[in-house]
Amino acid sequence: MSKAMVIDDSRTIRKILSDTLGELGYQVAQASNGREALSVVQREPDPFALFLVDWNMPEMNGLEFVKSLRSNPLYSHVPLMMVTTETEISQMVTALEAGANEYVMKPFTKEIIADKLRLLGLLQ
């Protein structure tokens, strides 16, 4: 079973995304901000296969997390999806340039998440 991590400061969003990924066959870890997520990544022996990241979080935001994660050779090519309320095209471009592979605007549906995972080649 592939491992995914959901990073969002909203407990409700973490639960919704975790449940969705669980139904799609992932074992899911959660973090409430980028700093916490990096800590989990560092202590986890098996690498994660997917990250879903919010942009606006305390301590370390999603963009900072993406840049930090992409600097780690083990995670330089792992699929990463921003799931955020940021709707400006410039924000989307910034996230993609920083290393995000996909961008989902809140609110979202399970179908939207599954469609994005298909685009990433992670679902049939």
The tokens for 112 are: 């939207």
Per-residue pLDDT for 103 more than 90?
A: yes
Per DSSP (E only), the strands in 8-88 are: 27-31, 50-53, 80-84
Q: How confident is the model at residue 1, as a pLDDT?
A: 80
When pLDDT is averaged across residues 84-94 and rounded to a whole number, the result is 93
What number of other Cβ atoms are within 10 A of residue 104's Cβ?
17
Domains annotated on the chain, with CATH = 3-119 (3.40.50.2300)
Per-residue pLDDT tens digits for 25-60: 999 999 999 999 999 999 988 899 999 999 999 999
Residue 45 confidence (pLDDT) = 85
pTM for the full predicted model: 0.95
* Rounded Cα–Cα distance for residues 109 and 106 (Å): 9
